[in-house]
Every structure is written in structure tokens, then in C-alpha cells.
Chain A
Amino acid sequence: MLWLPILIPALAGALTFLLGERRTRRRNTVNLIAATAAAAATLSLAGAAFQGTAAQASLPLGPGLQLAVRGDLTGLLFACVVTLLWGVTLVYAIGYMSHDRNRARFFGFFAWCIAAANGVALARDPLSLFVFYEILSLCTYPLVVHSGTPEAIAAGRKYLLYAFGGGAALLAGTAWLVAIAGPVQFTPGGALLAAESHTFALRWVFALMAAGFCVKAALMPLHGWLPSAMVAPAPVSSLLHAVAVVKAGVFGIVRLVNDLFGPELATSLGVAQPLALAAAVTIGVASVIALRQDDLKRRLAYSTVAQLAYITLGTALCTPLAAAGALAHLAHHAVMKITMFFTVGSLGQTLHVKVLGTMGGVARRMPLTMASFSVAALALAGVPPLAGFASKWLLAGGAFESGDWWALLVYVSGGALTLGYMVPILLASVRPGAHEPAERWESDPRMLWPIIAVALASVVFGVSASAPWSPARWALAAVSPVFGGWTP
């Protein structure tokens, strides 16, 4: 049962490849059914995890090796985000790619990416996480180079360089870890009690593993692949930037700090502080760079870099509230950013608008789309009562509690800068332009409804942040065992 979130998308992907390019309807049906089934499986596993029963499963891979998964709250939060957004993105992608010639390849690797991301979410020990992490790198490459143009190929090459470079670092770190500490599993609060004396080795292991994760998490200066990966089609950018790849990176950092080293060990070794500083610098620099981007997707890319650093900083502060805020932001940001990428993709596909300068009159032509975008933009800036405010409140509270008051200032100035780079998009869209209001549907309905749905989600998550099923509450519950059963 625990393997289902991984197996269902994997099977769907294989079937998609076998069905080939021609049988479109059957292919789409298979994928949509798989998405629904996977969502149901993940949610029911989450329900079980809330009751307190964390299921486990493993497959042997060799002497002393196994592929193991566990359904704990942290992992299931990420897995639910991935799986639920897969379904939404599928509907959007079916609409967006309706004129593409390589759809079977696209949807096949798309499904395999989801399987790999779920694997990362559910992995029980560092080696299993590494296995799925590398599979994820592998399966995203065909999506990045999908269009086959020279820019796409060049972006793909850059992506490979970063992804496999990071993977090499992660491999070295994980192997070293297993060599000194044995086959440890992720345990809330840290699993390295026995190996605490190897401080030199542990510091290097942390550095290597963090470097590996930070490549995908786009921490500066390892972020270079993300802006150039924007050449990929919009559903891929949404997948990369909201759901699977970048979130797998920050999730790895969460696991590294919370469940492998543990907040106490990370702080006492002195490895958490540099990470926090790097994250803070990233927030500032990336937000400022975002202010200067004309291309909409690149603006969103740098915004993603900054927002991911929120999560990294929150985790590196090693306090309960900040850790909870980081996890909550993982979910909230996914929903908010995916709205924005969907919008930009829809603008590009329907109106061929890709740059800030050509956005005049868009609000009149595509009112629902731009309204959803505005909601998501305000949510991202942290305006209450939307989703972004809830996670920012937790993160800021955690920053204050940790005693690192500079982190608090970083968070709030990040919010101000977010407003700075989001508002020009809104302003540009309401400026008068050449577009007339649409007759019936402002764009392909398969692209429109997902946008509205995820924008609503960012409202719902924010307004109901105190409800027991909201991501914020979920994050608080997930983080509780890491800090010895702490409760807010």
C-alpha cells in the first residue's frame, strides 16, 4: 500500500509510452485515472499517519542495501502536494500541449517524475532518498529539452551539469555517512547519536549532502540551472518550480537537518548557521534580480529561488516554529507559484505574451486568469488572510524565537521585495493595450479551471490555517516529534 504513490505514476508512465503518440484519448484517460488513484492512496496514507500509525515497507537491493519507504507526516505532506498537483497539472497540460507532437514522451516522463518525487517524499533512509533523487534528475531531463530547440538543448546540458554534479556530491556524502554511521534511518530529532564523535567527518558529510540538495533547491550560487530551464513548456516549469524538482531539494534539506542530523546536532556542529546565512543572502539577491527581469518566466524563476530560500532558512534556524513554517511554506508556495506559472503559460499560449512590456490590456482580455494571478501574487507577498501570510507568520515567529533577529528582518524585507516584483506585473496587465475582451472562454477551459482551482486553494489554505487539515496545522504536527514532542 505504501508503494502505491510510487507505483501508480510509474505504471501510468510506462503505459503512456506503450500507448504511443496516436492514442491520445486513451493516454489521457490512463493518466487522469492514475492521478486520481494516487491522490486517493496518498490521502488515505496521510489519514493513517495522523492517527499515529506510520506504515513502513522495504525492498532488498543487495548485501546491506535496501530501498525503504515510510509514511510519516513530513513525507506525506510533500507526497500529497506532489500527487494532488499532478492531477491539476495534467488537466492544464492536456490543454496546453494539445498541439504538440511529442505528447506521449512528455506525459510518460511527467508521470515518472511524479513517481520519483513521491519516492523522495516517502524514503525512509538517506540511500533510498538518493535513489529516488537521482531518478528524478534523470526523468526531468527529457522534459526540459522537450521542444528540441538549441536553447532547450543548451538548457538541458546546464541542468545535467548541475543536477549530476549535485548528485555526485550527494552520493559521496551518503556513502561516507553510511560508512561511519551504518545504515541509519530518518528519525525525528536526529539519527546520528552513535556517530556524534566523528565531528570532522560529520561536518563534511553535511556539507556534501547539503550541496547535493541545494543544487535542486536552487540556493545561490547553485541556482544557475533554474532560470535557463525556463525554456521548457509551462507545465514543466510548474512541475519543476512548484511541485517536484525544487521541492525535492528543499525537502532533502528538511530531512537532512530535522531527521538525519537533528536540530541539536546541526547547531552544535556549527553547520546550520552557514546554511542559514546562504539562504538569507539568496533571499535578498534573488528578489532584487527578480525586480529587473522583463521576461515573465524568468521573473517567476528568481522569485522561486528566493521563496525556496525562505524554506531553507526556516529549516536552518532549528527552532520548532521556523521548521513548521518551512514545511507549511513548502505546500503553500507550491500552490501559489503553480498558479502563477499556469497563468504565464496561458498568456503565452493564448496571447503570445511573454514579456512584461507586452502585457497591456491582458486583464481585460483574460480577467479570470489575471484575477487568479493577483490573488496568488498577494498571497505570495504575505497579505493576510491568504496562504503566504500563514507560513510567513510561522517563519517570522520562529526566527524571532531562535534569537537570530536578523532572520526576522530578512523575512519581512523579502515580503516587501515580493510585493515589489509582483505588483509591476499586475499594473502592466491593467494598463490599456491592444486586446479586446474575449467572446466566450478567455482561454482553453482546460487551462482556465486549474488556474482558478489553485488560486482558490491559496485562499482556502490561508483562511483556514487553523483548521486541523490545513497544511499549516499539518506542518506543526509533523515538526512536533523532531523537537521532542513540542506543541504550539
Chain B
Amino acid sequence: MTLVDHLPAALIMTPLAGAALTFVTRRRWDPALVMVTAVVITGLALALSVRVLAEGAFRYRLGGWGAPLGIDLVADGISALFVLLAAVVGLAATAYATSYFGTGDEDAYGRGLVWALWLFLWTALNALFLTGDVFNVYVCLELVGISAVALVTLGGGADALRAGARYLFASMLGAMTYLLGVALLYSATGHLDMATLGSAPTQGIAASTGLVLMVSALVLKTALVPVHFWLPTAHAAAPSPVSAVLSALVVKGSYYVILRLVLDVTYPGQLPGLDVTLGALGAASIVWGSVQALLQTRVKLLVAYSTVAQIGYLFVAIPLMRADGGIVGVAVTAAAAHAVSHGLAKAGFFLSAGSLQHRFGHDRISEMAGAARTTPVLAMACAVAGVTMMGLPPSGGFVAKWLLILTSINVGQWWWAAVMIAGGLLSAAYTFRLVAVFVAEGAGDPGDAHHPARTEWLPLLLASAAALLAFAIPQIDTLVRIGMNLGRAEVLP
């Protein structure tokens, strides 16, 4: 029994242990401790991906108990990919956060709570990505929600508290609805394990209602239009490293569960109309989110609405995943690629927005003229992150968009392609609105470039990774296909 066999458990235990340790150690050592933990987690995530690539998907029985009594952790291609995404983004955000939060004693950050919460969130995310049964998902979702809300409100201030309250409300509502759904599903089928649920067709009104409630809850937690009300303010009011993790990872968590439901638990045609509805709402998100982003006057709100828009793409992919009565692998790869590149780019975007706010003292867009000269690294980071949002080559977003467009034409549902192309144009509109302000030489001389702080390179690194992700898509594709059940046929009622 080597570490490699226990990777899933290790991925959950390590951040938990780290969080516990922060309570014990001196406050001064907290940042170093968290960085070490982050590095270790990244290593473990890499190891998991390597193992999955080499040996295929596997199940891990926690505590030796198997389903249906115990909790099973599942590590297939998609989980490994998302765990890796969480690790990379988490590492970068941690590096940024150690200098952002500082070690001052007066503020809330200094009370050591932030690091514990940070690592709790990470634990919950890892657990969410690795979980194999639907009730465990509820637990993880609750954990994610609580940690996230706490992190949002930690900075204090009326805005943060209001936003946090809204977020808490949404989180609770979603969790309750999800629990209700799980209860209905369990009562109808008697199973909680995802694989077991997926192998036998679930029929009956109770099961369907349960599934619908679960999906609705997850849609709420992923902030799809029309229930996106909590996301913009929450992501904008949180401290920047927290926003980065929220936009890049937390919303992907609930989307991951939806992916599991779509790919593994339900059959194509089991819930007729669900796919198209989700796709249509995704299209609405793309449009509404981009339009709202265009109208914002503050950088962080712009970035937050951009998240709403980009989530839409993930939902537009869903009807394309299950066209033709089977699973279209290309669409799944596209969705995964989009999630990864958006995660990297959005993290970069929020981190640079945070640094810009720090430099300028505010985050009002109209007063940031000349930033391209005074803070070239940050301006470049925003622009490069925008490249992924727009879906321009050679970013991962472009490959995802292309694959989805191609799929939509191939299956004859070309309207999704039209929406995605329009979405690209709208993203260009708000990105360049921002860039144009940066480039403008306004009245008054903003002066020459400040020397960039070391942490200012992190957003640029993340954004560039996303912008060049196209070259890594083949590897992502290979990873995603491991464990994907491509042969699921339509179930006749």
C-alpha cells in the first residue's frame, strides 16, 4: 500500500491537515505553511493525473468500506483534470494571497482564520471532485458554501457583508433543494452511489422530480441566468485571491456535479427537454452576462459578470454532449477544456484586477487611464486573460469554442454556433473597453512605469497559460476520455 494507492484520500486529508495545523502554529509561519501545503497538493494532483493516464480510472474505498454502505471516491479522467486545475489555480492564488493578506495583527486576516478557511475550501473542492455518491456531494457542497461565504465576508465592510449574506442565502437555498432532491431520488431508487444509479434506469415521478431538484440546485450554485443574482456582488466584493478561487474553481465544482449527472447518472432522453433548456439558459447567460459586463463601471464587477457569461458556454455544451442519442466525446472535451482555460484565465484576471485596485486605490475603470504605461504587466495580464474570454486562438477557449461550433453544425443544431460566435464578439466588446481605457493617454501624465512587484507576474503567468492552452488540449483530451462511458445508448421508456 503505497501513497499512490491512497492518492484520493491524501488529496482530501492534506489540506485538512494543513488547516488544522494553522490553528496550532504561530501566526508568522502560517503563510509558509500554507505554501508548503499548496505545493504538496499540487504534487499529489499531478501524481493522480499521471496514475489515471497510465492505469485508467479507479475507485477508492474510503476506510475499506465499499458502496452502498461506505463512501467511494472515484478518480477518472475528468476528476483528475479538475483536481489538477484546482491545484494549479490554488497554488498560484496561494502564492498571491501570502503577500496580499500580509501578516499584520490588527485586521481580520491576521487572526489566522483566513488560512484555515482557505484550506477548508480546498479540502471541500478536492472532495467534491473526487466524490462518487450523491449524498457526499451534498456534504461537500455545504462545506464549499460555508468556507466561501466566510472568505467573502472576512474582509469586512458593508459591501462584503451584503454580498456574503446573499451568497449564504443562495448557498443554503441550493443545498436544501439539493438535499430534497437526493432524498426523493433515494426513496425512489434506494441507491446513492453514482455508478449504481447510472447502471439501472431510474423511472417514476419521484426519481425524475428528485433529479430535477438536484439539477436546479446545482444550476443555482453555478449562477446560470436567471438565478445568477448572488455571483456578481459576491465575487466582486471578496478579496482578490478569494474572487479568483471563487470564479475559477467554486462555480466549476457545481458544474462538475452537473456533468456527472449528465454523463454518468442519467440517460439521454431520461429527462426530455432538460438538455435544451440548459442550453438555452446557457445562451441567455452568454448574452446577458456579456451585456452587463459591458455596462459596468468597476473592474471587479466587469470580471464577475464575465464569469456569468463564460459559464453560459459550459451549459451550451450540454445539449451537444448528448446529441445523437449517445455521448459526444468531443463536446465533453470541449467543455472540460473551456472550464480549465476559463479557470486559469479568470484567476489571472481577478488577481490582476486586485493588483490594479491596490495600485490605484480604487477599481473604477474610467480613472485607470494610462495603466498600460504605469502598470504594463497588469494591463497585459488583463488583455491576455481577455483573449481566452473572447475565444481567440491560440487559447484553450478557442479550441473549446471551435469544437463546440463544429459539433453543433455536425448534429444540425447550428443555432448554438451562432450564439457562441456572437458571445465571442460581445466578450471582445467588454475586454477591449477595458483595454482601451488602459491604453488611453488621458489628461495629466500618469508617469512612467512602476517597477512591477513579484506577485504581479502571477496573473500574467496564469493568463498566458490559458492563452497558450491550445497546445495542451490533446493531452487534456486524452485525460478526459479515460473513464468516459461513450457507449451509453438511449433508454426506451
Contacts and interface: CB of A to CB of B under 8 A. Distances in A.
The answer to whether A and B touch directly, with their CB atoms under 8 angstroms apart, is yes
Interface of A: 17, 20-21, 59-65, 67, 101-102, 104-105, 127, 130-132, 134-135, 138, 141-142, 145-150, 153, 156-157, 160, 164-165, 168, 171-172, 175-176, 178-179
Nearest to B394: A131
B471 A59 contact: yes
Contacts of B424: 164, 168, 171
Contact of A157 (B376, B432, B449): B432
B446 to A, nearest CB: 10
A138 B387 contact: yes
Nearest to B404: A175
Given A101-B373, A157-B436, A164-B425, A21 B405 contact: no
Contact of B421 (A101, A145, A150, A168): A168
B417 A175 contact: yes
10 contacts: A17-B380, A62-B470, A63-B330, A147-B441, A149-B441, A160-B432, A171-B402, A171-B421, A172-B421, A179-B406
B330 A64 contact: yes
A128 to B, nearest CB: 9
Nearest to B441: A148
Nearest to B379: A105
A271 B435 CA distance: 39
B373 A179 contact: no
A448 B410 CA distance: 56
B402 A65 contact: yes
Contacts of B333: 62-63
Interface of B: 329-330, 333, 337, 370, 372-373, 376, 380, 387, 392-394, 398-399, 402-403, 405-406, 409-410, 417-418, 421-422, 424-425, 428, 432, 435-436, 439-441, 448-449, 470-471, 473-474, 477
B393 A179 contact: no
Contacts of A62: 333, 337, 399, 402-403, 470, 473-474, 477
Contacts of B394: 61, 67, 131, 135
Contacts of A67: 394, 470
A453 B439 CA distance: 34
A171 B410 CA distance: 15
B373 A65 contact: no
Contacts of A146: 439
Contacts of B370: 148
Interface of A is mostly: helix
A20 B449 CA distance: 10
B406 A60 contact: no
A179 B407 CA distance: 8
Contacts of B435: 141
A175 B421 CA distance: 11
Given A156-B436, A157-B436, 13 more contacts: A62-B337, A62-B470, A62-B473, A63-B403, A63-B477, A64-B330, A65-B403, A102-B372, A157-B432, A164-B424, A164-B425, A175-B406, A175-B417
Contacts of B329: 63
Given A62-B474, A63-B403, A145 B373 contact: no
A402 B394 CA distance: 41
Contacts of B473: 61-62, 65
B428 A160 contact: yes
B425 A142 contact: no
A105 B376 contact: yes
A134 B401 CA distance: 14
Nearest to B436: A153
B366 to A, nearest CB: 13
Nearest to A178: B406
**4 closest pairs, A vs B, by CB?**
A148-B441, A131-B393, A62-B473, A179-B409
B428 A153 contact: no
Contacts of A61: 394, 399, 470-471, 473-474
B393 A135 contact: yes
A132 B421 CA distance: 18
A146 B440 CA distance: 9
Contacts of A132: 393
A153 B329 CA distance: 43
Looking at B394, B424, B425, B441, the one whose CB has the most chain A CB atoms below 10 A away is B441
Contact of A175 (B337, B402, B422, B428): B402
Contacts of B422: 168
B477 A135 contact: no
B398 to A, nearest CB: 8
Contacts of A131: 393-394, 398
A64 B410 CA distance: 14
